[in-house]
Every structure is written in structure tokens, then in C-alpha cells.
Structure 1
Amino acid sequence: MFFKQILSTTVFFSLTWTSTSLAQLTPESQFPFRVSTHKHNCQSKSNSSVSNLHLLFAQTGTPKVPSGILEPTRPGLPPSPSTPLETPTPIELLTPPSETPLNSPTELDVKVKVREVEVLGSTVFSSEELEAVVAPFIGKEATFEDLLAIRTAITKLYLDNGYTTSGAFLPPQDLTDGIVTIQVVEGAIERIEINGLSHLRSSYVRDRLNLAAKTPINLRTLEEALQLLQINPLLDSVQAELSAGTAPGLSVLTLNLKEAKAFSGSISLENRESPSIGSLGGNFKLNHNNLLGFGDRAYAEYEITEGLDKYNVGYQFPVNAHDGTVNVRYEKYDSEIVEEPFSDLDIESDSYTLSLGFRQPIIRTTTSEFALSLSLDLRQSRTFLFEDEPFSFSVGPEDGKSRITALRFSQEWINRYPKRVLAARSQFSFGLDAFDATINDLGVDGRFTSWLGQFQWVEALSPDIILVARVGKQI
């Protein structure tokens, strides 16, 4: 392990059969890149509304197992298509009251030749889209019912595009010139009420909902934002209700939330290390997904074998409502050759890595995610012979000491199905002549360019048996 060359071409493929559940599959389950899933039989629940003015959107008991490639805290498998998230009952629009002259019984039979339809208050649709809706009424003799049909056609345009709390009405007007005015009231969220949080700050939830709660309210966009909250590992259950506000067109979004358990730990016995440092060892992990209350995560890991002591600690925190995160990681690695016949040489190595990175999802839905990340890694390693004599096992390092400064650009893609998770990762690494990096014309050189590609397939054959296949190539 001490003779690893920086530039290499590696192709690896493995097929794993394991008797465990998707919920037990963790990012650290010997994946070359990390993908986590949870059980595929999670259910979606919704409650009946008391009146047709309420939207209830709820799910409880959703397993919260991460799904990211690099970070261990990402959402797990989405609900099965056999039990999809139920479409909420459409909200019946409350149109603003109006006292128009056309409402008087004496004018119901009056006909007006429609020369033009003027739509006021619409910010979503272009003039061309609105003209296409009212075109059948232009140039015709219109009765009171026809005018109502114009209003209904515009309201339908909003409803068909997901703007369920928006609509149109006829304001008081003079129709002698043949110009019909239609007023649109675009639905808005008056306020968001958040209940049930204890440690997680309400601003964390509010900021993510505000992305979907822009005026006018689009019910489809709002549903998707709620679904993303449902699979958020910080929340155990989400219930949302959209009800009428204090004025026509205004709504109140009420959320009843239950936080998920933030702290977790594990102890495992593994034999995944090289026999040269002792294949059998113990692994201890601690993780807190919400340390300070704003979705920040801290983790620590310790691994030990006969010839290995490895420490890994990290901290990451969100920097925007789109789940962009900054992460800091420190890793310390001390090892010793314990395998015969080299154990008598007392070959030892110690290294540390300090990493600072930023990860930003570009596309994120309940079933797929595409993210970009950029990180800067500082790595120093030293090798010794006879315990404390610095020794270089390759050309380049002086007295067994080498330093690498690497800039890494990664692209990650995950697609989740009811019983399957597909994930791919591409990473470009560039060795920089910075921070006292080891520079040599021969041998180990801190200036390099490499690419790593990885793909993984996880298939649930039964609730307790999964199949894992992975392949990778490094250049």
C-alpha cells in the first residue's frame, strides 16, 4: 500500500450478493462510491379534507436513509409507483365578490358585440396565450352567460397549469365600446405556519418552501417541494394543509412536522483491509445530522486493525435553500506492515488529508438528482523503515515525505426506482504546484491530471436480499 503510484489506470468490477434490506445498506458498505437506499415499500398517506378548501398532503413513517454518492446524508428510495404520492384534492377557488352592472336582472338579456377582451392582473401567461383563449369570443354577440364563459375560460387556463388558487372575475365596467375587462386574482401564500419542530430551525423548512411558494401559487410545484421535505433525512413525517387566508386569493400553508432522530452510531467488525496491515478490524462511527439546528452535519469515524489506525472527522453545513453544502474533512492514517516476511522491516506510514469542498445539486426531484462538487485537498504522507528511519520507497519523495495539493471536480447522478437505485460519478483531479507540493521531473510528482469514473447498480430482489454491482475506471 506504500508503493501506490499517483497516476495509474485501473479497471475494477465487482458483483455482490448480500442478505440484508435496503434500509440496512449504508454508504460505507464497501462501495467505491457511496449510495444509500431504504426499503422500497414505504407508503404515502393523505387525510380527507374537512372542506374542499383544504389541501392535505401527508406522509408518515418514511425511512430516512441517505442517498448521495459522496455525502452519507441523502434521501433514500422514493415511494413505490404502486403506491404513489396521492394527488391532493384540487382547491376550489374563492373568487372575489364583485357587484357588476351585468348582474342586475334587467341587463341579463342585453347582448354586447365583443370587440376586444382586456385581461388585467395576469403575470404568468403571455398576451399570445391569453389571446388564444379569448379568440373564440371576439367579434361575436355575447350574452351575460357568454361573458361568464370568457371568465371561466381564463380561470380554466390557470387551473390546467396548476395555479389552483388563481382565477378570474368580471369587475364593474361599461361595455358600450365592446371592450370586455376580465380581472385576474393570482393566488398567493399569505403566511407559512410551521408546527412540531424542536431542534431544527423553522427557517430551514421555510426557506425551502419559499422557493415553491412564489406568487402565483402553483400546486404542482408546491407538491414537489413537500415531497422533497418528506424524503429529507431531517424529517420523519410531513403534513401540510393549504387553507383560505384573510382575503380572496390568499392562502395559509400550515405544516405539522415531526423531526427524525438526528444522532446515530454504529460498531462493526470488517475484513475489508489489505492483509499486509491486518484485514480484520473494527469500525466505529458517530453521526449527527442536525448539530446546531440548521441542517448541519458532523461525523466521526475510527477504524482499527492490527496494523492500522485511521481517524476521519468532518463537518458540513447548508449555504442555500437548494441544498448546496460546504464541507470540511480531516483524515489521519497511520499504518504498519504486519504481514510476513516484511513485518521484520518495521515499515510504517503516516498521512493526513485536509479537504474543503462545496457541493451543489443542479437537478433534484424525488426520484433523481444531479449534482456538481468542487474540492481542494491537501495531503501529506511519510514512510519509515525500522520504525523511525525516514525512507522513500519510490523516486521523488525526500526522506519519505511527499505532499499533494489536488483540485477535484466531480459530477454525480442518482436515479431511484421502487426496487432499484442507479448511480454514476465522474471525478477530474488536478495536481497543483501550490502549498509546498512535491514537484519532481522523475518519479512522484504533485503535478498530475487524472479521471475516475464509477457506476453502481443496487437491486432489491426481496425485502431482505439485495444485489449490488459496481464498475469503475481510473485514468
Structure 2
Amino acid sequence: MSDNEPLWNWKLNLGIALTSVILIASQPNQVSATSLDDSEVIHSLSLAQTNKRLRTRPLSKIYLAQSQFPNPIPPRTPEPPIRDPQPQPSPPIELKPAPTPTPSGLSEIPGTITVKQFKFIGNTAFSNNELRELVKEFINKPISFAELLQVEEIIKNKYTAGCRGDNQQPCYLNSGAFIPANQTFTKDKAIITVRVVEGGIENIEITGLNRLRSGYIRSRIERGISQPL
């Protein structure tokens, strides 16, 4: 028994050693398998927690996160509206003084004439006495026919005096005077007729009225143009 005891101990130790080797050899597979199972479990838990956070995330934060992405299409700049061209206002009508008709050749008549009186016709803005006062320097003295024609200019200046500068006199821009031709008079005591032409409106035409009567408008206009223009 004593002789076989070392052999038995050696076999026992060898068996224990082999068993340990087998256990050690098989243990990495188990550990690896265990490790693989744990990573899958952890990965599953991670996905579950992520899905839970997404489900419980407030909508405002999700919208905010989506709005942070740049818009690939830039907003279109609105084009300015096309406007129809407005009609340009007509330029104001400039009224020019009416030309004073002059008898042809009257200024070239030789000799002199003595005027006894000037007779005015057609004047309403100024009286005969006012106009005679303007030409009294040509009365009862010999004057040439060129000087006689100056009476026309003097009367015209009386009507248009208020149209110049800050003159406070009335302005009758379209009025004037002329000495008609074919008058018969003597050289010593001539009575000269001077015709005054006062500007005015010959006709009033009213169109396009919807509510007001044309007669009412006409009466208002005629009231404002009772004086010469």
C-alpha cells in the first residue's frame, strides 16, 4: 500500500491538473459568450432608452431641432408690382396778349393832324373819361400819324398794367385797342374813334356732369367772367 501510494497521488494530481486545464480551456468560451450576451443586452437597453427619450421629448424641442437645418432653397424675392404709367398733366396754357391790329400804312402818311377829341367804343373796364385822361397830351396840337398810333399802345398798357410785377391794378391780359381804318375826319379838328377790344369768353360748353345741373354751373362761371379777361 505504501509502494503504490506515490503512484496514486501522482495520478490524482495529474487528474486534477487535467481537469483544471479543461476547465480553463472551456472558461474563455463561456466568458466570451457571457460577454457577447451582456453587450447585446446593453445595446438593447440603450436602444430602448433612446426610443423612450424620443417618445417623451417635447414637440417644441423636436421642431426646434428640425428648424436648425439650413433651408436648401433660398426664399424668392417678390418682384415689384408693375404699375401703369400715369398720364402726365397737360402744361398750363399761357395766355399771350392779343395783338393790336394796326391800319396798314397809317404811320407812313406824311403831314400832321390836329385831334379835337378821342371817341372810345367797346370799353367797359374803364370809363371814357379815364381813357381820355390818358391821351390828353395828343389833343389840340398838331401830331404826326405815327404819334397818333401811340394812343393804341397807351390804352393797351392801361388794361395790362396789373399783369406786370406787384402792380395792384386790374390785369386784363387779352385786352387792347386800335384805331379803325377808313375814318373820315378833317386835319384841323379831327374826331378820332378808338375801338377797345376787351378779352372774354364767347361760349361755355359743360360736359361730363352726373349730379349737378349744367345751368347751375354755367351761372357760376358767367358770374366770374363778367369782367373782361
TM-score by length of 2: 0.48
Q: Could you tell me the TM-score, scaled by structure 1's length?
A: 0.25
Higher relative contact order (CA 8 A, sep 6+): 2
Larger Rg: 2
User: Which has more helix, going by share of residues?
Assistant: 2
